[in-house]
Amino acid sequence: MGRLYAKAFAEAGYQVCGCDLPENRDKLEEELSPYHINVMDSGKDVSRISDLIIYSVEADKMLTVVAEFGPSTKYGAIVAGQTSVKTPEINAFEKHLPADAQIITFHGMHGPGFKPKGQKLILIRHKAADDAYQRMLDLFTAIGSDIVEMTDYHEHDKIVADTQAVTHVGFESMGTGWKEAGFFPWENGSYLGGIDNVKILTMLRIFSYKAHVYAGLAILNPYARQQVKRYAISESELFKLMIKEEEEAFRARLYRARDFVFHESRKPIMLKDTVMKEFSLSQKPEQKKPNSHLSLLSMVDAWYHLGVNPYDNLICQTPPFRLRLGIAEYLFKNEELLEESIVTALYDKTIRGDDLEFHSAVREWSSIIGYGDMEGYKKHFTDVQAFFGSRLEEGNKQSAELIRRLMME
C-alpha cells in the first residue's frame, strides 16, 4: 500500500521519498526509479525532510516504528498512518511525535490490487491547522480518491469493526468450515448458486492476502472483539434453534432482524443475479442444491442485536463488506429464496454437517480474537490458506472482476 500511494503521489506531480527494510532497498529502487521516487536509508532521513510523513507498516508494529522515527519528524510536518485500525496508531503518534506535529491520518478502503483513483478514502483530522488539512484534501483530490471526512478516529474504528473485522471472520469461517469438511465448495451442489459464487470468490480473495493484515484488524481494534462475539452468539443461537427444529422461534427471530436491517427506508444495493451466476468455479452448476446460508442469517441477526444499520456503515465500505451486505440483502428481500433457506436450515440434514463445521469455525475464530492471540490468528489463517492454495490466485482475479462488474451494474 505504501508503494501504491507513493506512485500515485509521484504521478500527480509531488516529490516523493521513502524507505523500507534494508533488504528491500535494491528491489524498491528498481521498481520506483521510473517514478523518480527517492529511496532512502532510514525512516529518520525521510522524517527530517518531509512535509508529509506516512507510516505504512503493520498495525502491530506501529508503536515500535513510530518510537524509532517519530522524534525525527520535521518541524510542523503532517503525520499520517495507513493502518486499518486507528486507535493504536493515534496512541503511538501521541506518545512519540513532537508536540508541533500535525496528525491527519487516513484509510484507503481497498487493497493493493486497486489503484487509489476512484476508491473510497477515509480522512481523519485528529490534530491539525486548517491550512495543513487543506493540503491533505488537495493531495488526495489530486490522486482521484473518493474522500470521506471524519473527525473522530473512534467512530472510524467502530464502523471498521463491522465492515472489516466481522466481515472477514464470516468469510474466514466459511473457508475454515470447508477445509475441515475436506472439500472445495465449488465441487459441492450446495454451493453453486449466485450468492455462493460471491461467498466463495470473496473467501478466496481474503485468503490470498497476508494474515497479519486481518489479525491486526480484528485484535487491535478495541471495538472488534465485542462485535465478533455478538456474531458468534447469533450464529450459535440460530444453530441451536435449527438442530432443535424450533421453526416458529427461528422464523420470528429472522423476520424481526429482516424488518430492522432491510427497512424500506434503506437504499438497497441491488446486486444483479445474472452477474453473480456468471462467476462460478464449478464445472457442473446445474447440480445446485438448496443452502441454509447460515453465515448470512447470523450476520443479519447480529446487526439487529447490535442495533447496527449496515447501510450507514457503507461510508467505510470495502468490496467484501459491500458484497456481503449485498448478498444478505438479496437473500432477505427475496421471499422465495429466504423461505428455501429457512426450510433447508431447519430440516435438510444433508447440509447439517457443513453447518456444524461452520459453527465450530465461528467459535474458533471468536475465541482467538477474544484472547487477543495474534500468533494463533496467523497460524489458523495460514492453515486454511494452504488448503485453498492452488485456487487463490484465480479466485483473487475472478473476485476483482466480479467486484468491478457488480459495482458497475
277, with CB counted inside 10 A (0-12, 13-18, 19+), is middle
Count, in order, helices (H) and strands (E) of the chain: 19, 7
> For the chain, what is the radius of gyration of the CA atoms?
22
CA atoms within 13 A of residue 366's CA, in its CB half-sphere: 18
Q: Which residues contact 73 (CB under 8 A, 6 or more apart)?
A: 47, 53, 79, 97, 98, 101
Q: Which residues contact 247 (CB under 8 A, 6 or more apart)?
A: 342, 346
β-strand partners of 127: 103
Q: How far apart (Å, rounded) are the C-alpha atoms in residues 215 and 223?
A: 14
Q: Quick one: pLDDT at residue 316?
A: 87
| Three-state SS at 350 | coil
- Which helix H or strand E contains 146, and what residues bound it? strand 146-150
Cell of 24: 528491500
Q: Quick one: pLDDT at residue 244?
A: 97
CA–CA–CA angle 381, 386, 389 (5° rounding): 120
Q: How far apart (Å, rounded) are the C-alpha atoms in residues 232 and 363?
A: 6
β-strand partners of 108: 121
CB 167 within 8 A of CB 196: no
Q: Smallest Cα–Cα separation from 159: which of 377, 296, 321?
A: 321
Annotate 192-256 with three-state secondary structure.
CCHHHHHHHHHHHHHHCCCHHHHHHHHHCCCCHHHHHHHHHHHHHHHHHHHHCCCHHHHHHHHHH
CB 235 within 8 A of CB 294: yes
Domains (ranges, CATH) in the chain? 2-151 (3.40.50.720), 155-408 (no CATH)
CB 216 within 8 A of CB 83: yes
Cell of 150: 471524519
| Full-model pTM | 0.85
Q: How far apart (Å, rounded) are the C-alpha atoms in residues 85 and 77?
A: 22
Q: How would you write the pLDDT of the chain (409 residues) with one tens digit per residue?
A: 999 999 999 999 999 999 999 999 999 999 999 999 999 999 999 999 999 999 999 888 999 999 999 999 999 999 999 998 999 999 999 999 999 999 999 999 888 878 999 999 999 999 999 999 999 999 999 999 999 999 999 999 999 999 999 999 999 999 999 999 999 999 998 898 899 999 999 999 999 998 988 998 899 999 999 999 999 999 999 999 999 999 999 999 999 999 999 998 888 888 888 889 888 887 666 567 899 999 999 999 999 999 999 999 998 888 889 999 999 999 999 999 999 999 999 999 999 999 999 999 999 999 999 999 999 999 999 999 999 998 999 898 998 898 888 876 5
What length is written for the chain?
409
Which residue type does 127 have?
K
CB 217 within 8 A of CB 168: yes
Which residue type does 289 have?
K
CB 159 within 8 A of CB 224: no
